[in-house]
């Protein structure tokens, strides 16, 4: 198997040693290059970050925190973690940062551990209205260990029902109120949620995983000045390595650190911690701020283009990197739309819409995001084309038509190469 300019000489070594895995790496690279990547939580991280992830930092155990480790030999990784912490605090204006969580779910688990005890009442957005598994779904630890009370969106405008949220907070006196979602295209009013938290004496937790990259790029308002604690992933719009992070007020720093280690995790993945530092430096550049604005502009045009094809953008459009599309007008459900788009080389996901009459396995909607295509350099003209490609894919159950569409998709992506020489 031949190497690729992207993977470099080490790939030839891998090909000889383990051709099975080398073949998968190559196919996945080709898939990401050729197909349209519209999963709202995915992006193309930089080669600099890949270099960090594939480094000797991966070998190092470093339980503890810089200067207070349980192993020797941490001098170099300490420096990387200190840089990551300093960059996170500076970029987001945060008083405290923990850069060790392995993922968004790990970060959220640590937030629960820092502020609550099993059985406590937590108010969080319901999953069918756009929330997240770790915000109280019965199949997640959060729904099993805590008394979760869910709020949702209003049926008339599909925006968070802040009146309901306040009523539920007053009635249930939650220990913590969580805001943040995975399929909510609008901005969240953090000032309003802070006021509700203050009224009932609740900790204000924002799970900013989806939109933190837009905050980093100064394209949307930040929750950091309002929240007690903000958790997020580093690999979505933020475009860093896979992983999680927690920002907090200084007074909560010790509790957060203790909850992450030794509470929830053992050794941090130091290559990922260093990769987070690299990502935060990238996010502080003016080019990234322009990128974040372009992501939103692209998503607004993509949503409008799908509306022009007869579909409906939930909540009337988007103010972020993602759009939730009600496709009932096509008489095709989310599951089938996802499959047809996949066959046409358009990678997106089926998604429940608020008050969805279909089951979560079927759904009446699709979710699209523009983080990855914007990284590729696509702009609003391409978003209009993508809207039309999606509509044509959803409308067709003919394999030949879908294969032809796939050809059109590959022509489009060939003009915006990623990870080329
Ligand atoms: N899986 C992520 C998403 O797609 O939104 C959230 O964890």
Which of 34, 61, 121, 218 is the catalytic position? 61
Catalytic residue among 12, 42, 63, 307: 63
Q: What is the pLDDT of residues 373-401, one digit of tens each?
A: 999 999 999 999 999 999 999 999 999 99
Mean pLDDT score, 36-61: 97
Is residue 233 annotated as a catalytic residue, yes or no?
A: yes
Q: Is 271 helix (H, G, I), strand (E, B) or coil?
A: helix
Whether 120 contacts 175, CB under 8 Å: yes
Residue 369's beta-bridge partner residues? Answer: 322
Instruction: Please give the mean pLDDT across all residues of the chain.
Output: 97
Checking if the pLDDT of 2 tops 70, the result is no
Does the predicted TM-score (pTM) go above 0.85?
yes
pLDDT for 418: 96
Residue with tokens 């820092």: 114
User: From CA 114, how far away is CA 112, in angstroms rounded?
Assistant: 6
Of 9-13, 253-257, 331-335, the range with the lowest mean pLDDT is: 9-13
CA distances for 191 relative to 88, 179, 184, 309, angstroms:
22, 12, 18, 36
What pLDDT sits at residue 6?
Answer: 87
Whether residue 222 has pLDDT greater than 70: yes
pLDDT in tens, 84-114: 999 999 999 999 999 999 999 999 999 999 9
Count Cα neighbours of 57 within 13 Å in the Cβ-side half-sphere.
23
Q: Is 234 a residue of the active site?
A: no
Tell me how far apart the alpha carbons of residues 113 and 318 are, in angstroms, rounded to a whole number.
33
pLDDT tens readout for residues 144-166:
999 999 999 999 999 999 999 99
Q: Of all protein residues, whose CA lies closest to atom 1 belonging to ligand 1?
A: 41
CB 159 within 8 A of CB 165: no
Residue 1's pLDDT band (boundaries 50, 70, 90)?
A: low
Strands 203-207 and 229-233: parallel
264 prior amide bond cis, ω within 30: no
Residue 45 has pLDDT above 80, yes or no: yes
Active site residue 236: yes
- Residue 41 near ligand 1, beta carbon < 6 Å: yes
How far is ligand 1, taken at its centre, from the CA of residue 370, in Å?
Answer: 14
- Top pLDDT among 4 and 290 is at 290
| Nearest partner of 122 among 189, 172, 192, judged by Cα | 172
Task: In whole angstroms, give the CA distance from residue 275 to residue 50.
Answer: 8
57-66 own/partner pairs: CB under 8 Å, 24+ apart: 57/270, 57/271, 57/273, 57/274, 58/269, 58/270, 58/271, 60/270, 61/267, 62/267, 62/268, 62/270, 63/261, 63/262, 63/266, 63/267, 63/268, 64/261, 65/257, 65/261
Q: Could you tell me the distance, in angstroms and rounded to a whole number, from the CA of residue 175 to the centre of ligand 1?
A: 25
Q: Which residue minimizes the CA distance to atom 4 of ligand 1?
A: 41
Element at 254 (helix H, strand E): helix 253-258
Checking if the pLDDT of 129 tops 90, the result is yes
- Give residue for tokens 């756009």: 130
Average pLDDT over residues 118-125: 98
Among 132, 183, 184, 207, the mutation site with the greatest number of ligand 1 atoms within 8 A of its Cβ is 132
């Amino acid at each position: 198997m031949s190497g690729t300019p992207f993977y470099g000489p080490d790939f030839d070594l891998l090909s000889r040693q383990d051709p099975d895995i080398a073949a998968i790496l190559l196919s996945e690279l080709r898939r990401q290059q050729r197909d349209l990547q519209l999963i709202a939580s995915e992006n193309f991280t930089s080669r600099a970050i890949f270099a960090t992830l594939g480094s000797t930092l991966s070998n190092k155990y470093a339980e503890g925190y810089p200067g207070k480790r349980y192993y020797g030999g941490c001098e170099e990784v300490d420096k990387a973690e200190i840089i990551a912490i300093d960059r996170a605090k500076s970029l987001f204006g945060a008083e405290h940062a923990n850069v060790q969580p392995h993922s968004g779910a790990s970060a959220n688990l640590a937030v629960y551990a820092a502020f609550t005890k099993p059985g406590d009442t937590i108010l969080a957005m319901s999953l069918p209205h756009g929330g997240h598994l770790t915000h109280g779904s019965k199949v997640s630890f959060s729904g099993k260990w805590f008394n979760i009370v869910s709020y949702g969106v209003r049926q008339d405008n599909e925006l968070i029902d802040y009146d309901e949220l306040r009523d539920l907070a007053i009635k249930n006196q939650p220990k913590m109120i969580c805001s943040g979602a995975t399929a909510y295209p609008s901005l969240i009013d953090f000032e309003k949620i802070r006021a509700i938290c203050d009224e009932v004496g609740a900790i204000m937790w924002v799970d900013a995983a989806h939109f933190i990259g837009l905050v980093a790029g100064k394209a949307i308002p930040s929750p950091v000045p309002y929240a007690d604690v903000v958790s997020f992933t580093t690999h979505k719009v933020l475009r860093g390595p896979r992983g999680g992070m927690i920002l907090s007020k200084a007074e909560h720093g010790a509790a957060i650190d203790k909850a992450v280690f030794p509470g929830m995790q053992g050794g941090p993945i130091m290559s990922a911690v260093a990769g987070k530092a690299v990502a935060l430096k990238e996010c502080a550049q003016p080019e990234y701020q322009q990128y974040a604005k372009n992501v939103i502009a692209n998503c607004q045009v993509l949503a409008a283009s799908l509306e022009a094809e007869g579909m409906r953008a939930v909540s009337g459009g988007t103010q972020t990197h993602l759009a939730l599309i009600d496709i009932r007008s096509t008489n095709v459900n989310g599951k089938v739309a996802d499959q047809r788009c996949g066959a046409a080389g358009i990678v997106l996901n089926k998604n429940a819409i608020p008050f969805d009459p279909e089951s979560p396995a079927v759904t009446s909607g699709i979710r699209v995001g523009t983080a990855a295509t914007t990284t590729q350099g696509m702009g609003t003209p391409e978003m209009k084309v993508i809207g039309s490609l999606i509509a044509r894919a959803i409308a067709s159950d003919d394999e030949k038509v879908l294969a032809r569409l796939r050809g059109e998709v590959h022509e489009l992506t060939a003009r915006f190469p990623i990870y080329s020489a």
